[in-house]
Chains A and B, each alone.
Chain A
Amino acid sequence: MAIHIPILIIISPLLAAFLVLLTRKYKIILATTSIIASIVFISTLSSRILSGDKITYHLGGWQGPLGVSLVIDGLSFFFSSIVLGLGLLVIIYSIPERRYSRTYYFLLLISLSSMIGIIYTADIFNMYVFYELLSLVVYLLIAYNMKGMALRASFNYLIMGGVGLSFFLLGIGFLYAMTGTLDIYHTAEQLPTAFNSSTRMVIMSFVLIATGMGIKIAVFPLHGWLPDAHSMAPSPVSALLSGVTVKIGIYCLIRMIYSVFSTETFSIISSSHTILIVLGVVTLLFGASMALVQTDLKRLLAYSTINQIGIIFIGLGIGTELGLTGALFHVLNHAIMKGTLFFCTGIMIADAGTRDVQGLSGFGRQQPAITFAFIIASLGMIGIPPTNGFVSKWLICLAAAEAGYTILVVIILMASAITAAYYFRVIQVLFIGPPKQSSVLIYEGKQMIHGGNFFKSLPIYILVAGCLLLGLVPALGISMLKPAVSLLLSHVIP
């Protein structure tokens, strides 16, 4: 039993997904239980992982280079705990809504399971298969309410995502042609010899894989699908997409840059760090300035995601210990803060009946607790102490100053000022005007189950508590990503 834990973490939501389709009454209990089971499984491994150990599981007993294996190390442990944590909260948040049927939970569970699959697998083609599965489910979730705009957003994402994953698969093809294996660690061993004989093919495959992942992460010139897709999805799904799904692309990119094309071996590819910084700066400034002009609240949050991805990219590009710690910590913080913001926005939009920022006036007096949560998370996005966003931005700025990129500090601070401008605009609107007595009662009677507000606000309170806790005691989060950072810095092929 104990050896099979890595696969059980993936199987548990996958199995529950198909069981959910059979039952009408117990769908929520089943979905929640399966995710909690996965969290329990993963927490039994935590002490081993945090002490720097690595767990390898060979599927069906077939070892590499041909068999598929699952590897849990510091990096994959960190990302998968974010996925499971936010996934559980998303499911809790969707409980009160009657319009989410069995299919919704089915899709949600499949998406969570495939995300963990992407994170754990050590086989590049398997990674691609899980990524396609994740994308399929995400297209369906975006189009879930079948409104015209949602259908178009989903279709646009499908086209962009399809092209991106085709690039990724072609890159995998080049890798296989050179090395004859698809296992990440065996590929990394074979690649230096391949590099000497066919330099161009190595670079070609790196470029293809990086471009494919770039589309999925929505880096600046490839971001076109993100604002539509993230703003048209139902609110809990938006939280999942913004908080976690985008980070999966970042995870794949980190794996590729650090584990497969390790920069020590290929001096040419080490210029990719400069490219990461440049892309990060452009993405940061573009996302911030586009968010400034949005009138739709969810679109504003979607552009804010692009903004924060820029910061993560800058941290990754600097590549020192501080920079990587800041970038990975920002991945966690952004998941927490964006989750809070999208959850709050879901309540606001349902309450006001409009997505327009101006239409939200008076909400601050009506539901002060939710507004308080929104303000805390916004402060985190801007980077004001004592929230968690401050700590990670501070670490990245510190790393930039240490590495000699003083200009980056100026740029990050400038973007923070723009971020402050657009979040304060929303917060200001929340407090002007009298509280409205509009559609609340009708809404509760028809679409929500009894006591629905409790389930809707519980995840928000948990996330806000996390926001403040990580801001006041950042060592809690940083101790969690210590093994990941030391893994990335060691550069040794395991």
Chain B
Amino acid sequence: MNPINISLLVFMIGLYGVMSKNNLIKKIMGLTIMNGSIVLFFISIGYREAGLAPILEKGTTGGLSNTILVDPLPQALMLTAIVIGISITALALALIVRIYAKYKTLDIQQLSKEQ
């Protein structure tokens, strides 16, 4: 099984968590899992079998044509995506703290009954 299929499977697990769980914290966990699966997806796009880290050392500028390098762009993109994911999670948890202080419950079924 290649890593792209695995990451899509994990994405579906995260989506299932978001859609079907009643607890707000578990929904956020689902969202985090989705985010993690996307990171895995991008990294596996850039992966090359037996590739080297794409770092240029002094004096090696000319001789890179026949070495295999890992694609660095997805890795750079995923650093940004991870940061965004963390800030979304932090905001969601802050909202959850406020909601719990107000309603004393985290269950979405009970929350929808409250006014």
Residues of A within 8 A of B (CB): 66, 125, 129, 132-133, 135-136, 139-140, 143, 146, 148-149, 151-152, 154-155, 158-159, 162-163, 166, 169-170, 173, 176-177, 182
If A66-B73, A173-B42, A177-B45 touch, whether A155 touches B15 (CB-CB below 8 Å) is: no
**Chain A CB within 10 Å — which of B15, B95, B102 has the most?**
B95
Tell me which of A146, A149, A166 contacts B35 (CB under 8 A): A166
Q: Assess the B87–A136 pair: CB atoms within 8 A.
A: yes
Smallest CB separation, B50 vs chain A (Å): 20
Per the bound structure, the CA–CA distance linking A129 and B80 in Å amounts to: 8
Q: Assess the B96–A155 pair: CB atoms within 8 A.
A: yes
Residues of B within 8 A of A (CB): 11, 14-15, 18, 24, 27, 31, 34-35, 38, 41-42, 45, 73-74, 77, 80-81, 84, 87-88, 91-92, 95-96, 98-99, 102-103, 111, 114-115
Q: Assess the B95–A158 pair: CB atoms within 8 A.
A: yes
Tell me which of A132, A143, A149, A173 contacts B88 (CB under 8 A): A132
Tell me which of B14, B24, B38, B115 contacts A169 (CB under 8 A): B38
Q: Assess the A152–B38 pair: CB atoms within 8 A.
A: no
Residue of B nearest to A169 (CB): B38
8 contacts between A and B (CB under 8 A): A66-B73, A148-B114, A151-B98, A159-B27, A159-B92, A162-B92, A170-B11, A176-B74
The 5 tightest CB contacts between A and B, nearest first, are A132-B84, A148-B102, A166-B34, A177-B45, A162-B31
Q: Assess the B31–A151 pair: CB atoms within 8 A.
A: no
Residue of B nearest to A66 (CB): B73
Tell me which of B14, B15, B92 contacts A158 (CB under 8 A): B92
Besides A155-B24, A155-B92, 7 more A-B contacts (Cβ < 8 Å) are: A133-B84, A136-B88, A162-B92, A163-B31, A166-B14, A170-B41, A173-B41
Per the bound structure, the CA–CA distance linking A162 and B86 in Å amounts to: 12
Contacts of A158 in B (CB 8 A): 88, 91-92, 95
Smallest CB separation, B101 vs chain A (Å): 10
Smallest CB separation, A116 vs chain B (Å): 19
Smallest CB separation, B87 vs chain A (Å): 6
Smallest CB separation, A360 vs chain B (Å): 21
If A136-B88, A136-B91, A159-B18 touch, whether A173 touches B24 (CB-CB below 8 Å) is: no
Smallest CB separation, B38 vs chain A (Å): 5
Smallest CB separation, A53 vs chain B (Å): 31
Per the bound structure, the CA–CA distance linking A331 and B27 in Å amounts to: 34
Per the bound structure, the CA–CA distance linking A176 and B103 in Å amounts to: 44
Contacts of A177 in B (CB 8 A): 45
Smallest CB separation, B104 vs chain A (Å): 11
Per the bound structure, the CA–CA distance linking A27 and B95 in Å amounts to: 26
Smallest CB separation, A426 vs chain B (Å): 23
Per the bound structure, the CA–CA distance linking A132 and B89 in Å amounts to: 12
Contacts of A155 in B (CB 8 A): 24, 92, 95-96, 99
Q: Assess the B95–A143 pair: CB atoms within 8 A.
A: yes
Q: Assess the A140–B18 pair: CB atoms within 8 A.
A: no
Contacts of A139 in B (CB 8 A): 91, 95
Per the bound structure, the CA–CA distance linking A65 and B45 in Å amounts to: 18
Residue of A nearest to B4 (CB): A177
Contacts of B88 in A (CB 8 A): 132, 135-136, 158, 162
Tell me which of A136, A140, A154, A163 contacts B34 (CB under 8 A): A163
Contacts of B34 in A (CB 8 A): 162-163, 166
Per the bound structure, the CA–CA distance linking A148 and B100 in Å amounts to: 10
Per the bound structure, the CA–CA distance linking A135 and B35 in Å amounts to: 16
Q: Assess the B95–A173 pair: CB atoms within 8 A.
A: no
Contacts of A132 in B (CB 8 A): 84, 88
Tell me which of B18, B45, B103 contacts A148 (CB under 8 A): B103
Q: Assess the B45–A152 pair: CB atoms within 8 A.
A: no
Smallest CB separation, B107 vs chain A (Å): 12
Smallest CB separation, B96 vs chain A (Å): 7
Contacts of A151 in B (CB 8 A): 95, 98-99, 102
Smallest CB separation, B102 vs chain A (Å): 5
Smallest CB separation, B94 vs chain A (Å): 9
Per the bound structure, the CA–CA distance linking A155 and B95 in Å amounts to: 7
Smallest CB separation, B48 vs chain A (Å): 13
Per the bound structure, the CA–CA distance linking A143 and B42 in Å amounts to: 33
